[in-house]
Amino acid sequence: MMSIRRAMAAVLLASGLGAAGLVTSPANAGECSQATPQFCDPVVTDPDPEQEDLSTRTQVDDFKTDTTSCSVYANGTGMGMYCNTFGGCDTKTLRERYGDQKFQQCRYSELPPTVKEPYNANPDKGRFMLMTCLENIDFDTYNGGPNRTLSLSIVFVPFGTDTSDHHNGITDFLWNQIDRNKPMPVPFLVARPNSTPLVGIPTFFTFQWMDPATQTPMEETRNGGAYREVTAGDVVMRARATKVVINPQQQGIKATTCLADSPYREGELPRNQPADACSIIFPRSSASARKYATKPIPANIKDAFYADVTVTWEVTYGEVGGESHTLGDGFSMRMRQVLPVQEVQAPNQPPTVIY
């Protein structure tokens, strides 16, 4: 079961990733001491009801092996882990080995690429950083004990605060930290057999998965579907896209649910396509998109449907070669994509907007 602090960290990361529409009052690093990091939790208000359709909020869990202790997290836009690797066996305890050396309990780092910085009302006084604290250390064990954990907080750090890593024997031994995080791939709709859908003809969709960090096609795939993997020590974390829902947000045009690796047979007639192919028949062109829209279309979108595209991710974690554990019950990434539909063929590449 997650601790209260872990649950708070989950909510905090959700707000930082822009996934839950929560309003937070992040902790102030100037008010937190290394001896009392528990006072650095945020104050969280109720979610904004207008933001209920945003990507799934963050889930966080703890996982330990014989050599590694990790906090794993994921939401609809990214996933990652923060891990501590235990040292080798020693007959002496930390207290016996390092005596009176002062241990640096919390460290600061820049926000990961998948974490959006909260609104900074005082940019002239400081900035937001990720504070990671190593807690529940048993100094009468050789490696810190089996209950040590990593806690994550986004904190406001006043200018002039010492955010450097301090080094001595006990700090370097316990802070053998590995951190990994990756954004989830983004699917671009690829229409077949015409690059722009045509009225009255079955349009089949496949997906070109793009890495939002590098703006390049995904290399990590399984059976054509999007796949992510993160490793730290002997712990592995995997995300797999299971389905994609395309909703044109138009009266009289139903949403369709597709496999993330939806098949398509190039050159085959519609009746010869696989039963699980992803398809929509558009009864009218997108010239009337704004008239029949069931959801507002931005003013700069001309003569095109503005479709909702929802990806469901399954995230698991565990020891390499061992049993996998499921994090959460599925994570939804939601985005909007421009989808022109023509009476005649007109090539176009639909852009995407993640929110």
**What does the pLDDT look like over 201-218, one tens digit per residue?**
999 999 988 887 676 787
- Model's pTM, two decimal places? 0.69
Q: CA 261, 191, 76 angle in degrees (round to 5)?
A: 50
pLDDT higher than 90, residue 198: yes
Q: What are phi and psi of 253, to 5 degrees?
A: -120, 110
Burial of 45 (0-12, 13-18, 19+ CB in 10 A): exposed
Q: What's the pLDDT at 351?
A: 54
**What does the pLDDT look like over 155-186, one tens digit per residue?**
899 999 999 999 999 998 888 756 677 888 88
**What does the pLDDT look like over 39-81, one tens digit per residue?**
222 222 223 333 444 567 788 888 888 878 888 888 888 888 8
Peptide bond between residue 193 and the one before it cis (omega within 30 degrees of 0): yes
Q: How far is CA 116 from CA 20, 179, 232, 310, in A?
A: 12, 17, 23, 20
Q: CA 226, 274, 207 angle in degrees (round to 5)?
A: 25
Structure tokens at 325: 């554990």
**What does the pLDDT look like over 234-288, one tens digit per residue?**
899 999 999 999 999 999 999 999 999 899 999 999 999 999 999 999 999 999 9
Count of helices and strands (H, E) across the chain: 4, 21
